[in-house]
Amino acid sequence: MIKARITVTLKTGVLDPQGKAIEGALGTLGFGGVAAVRQGKVFDVVLEGDDRAGAEAQLAAMCDRLLANTVIENYTVDIA
């Protein structure tokens, strides 16, 4: 079994209205000093087998084809 964590975040410069809304909500709740909030997604994927090199390639392909929109998002893959 291979456990991996994929983190997908918006590229710099891409507007993040959800992050802005959270920033506003934190201010409303009394949390001062929040300069910026940006929201992303995380995927915890468990793969069968023990082929780490193959897993790395497969996880990158999954990101490119389904998990991330590479026009506006970056992704990182961390294999545990």
Q: How far is the CB of 13 from a second copy (least distance, A)?
A: 14
Q: Is 43 an interacting residue with respect to a second copy (CB under 8 A)?
A: yes
Q: Is 42 an interacting residue with respect to a second copy (CB under 8 A)?
A: yes
Q: Is 9 an interacting residue with respect to a second copy (CB under 8 A)?
A: yes
Q: Confirm if 18 and 71 have CB atoms less than 8 A apart.
A: no
Q: How far is the CB of 69 from a second copy (least distance, A)?
A: 14
Q: How far apart are CA 43 and CA 35, in angstroms?
A: 26
Binder among 17, 44, 53, 71 for a second copy (CB under 8 A): 44
Q: Which one-letter DSSP state was computed for residue 31?
A: -
Q: How far apart are CA 5 and CA 79, in angstroms?
A: 6
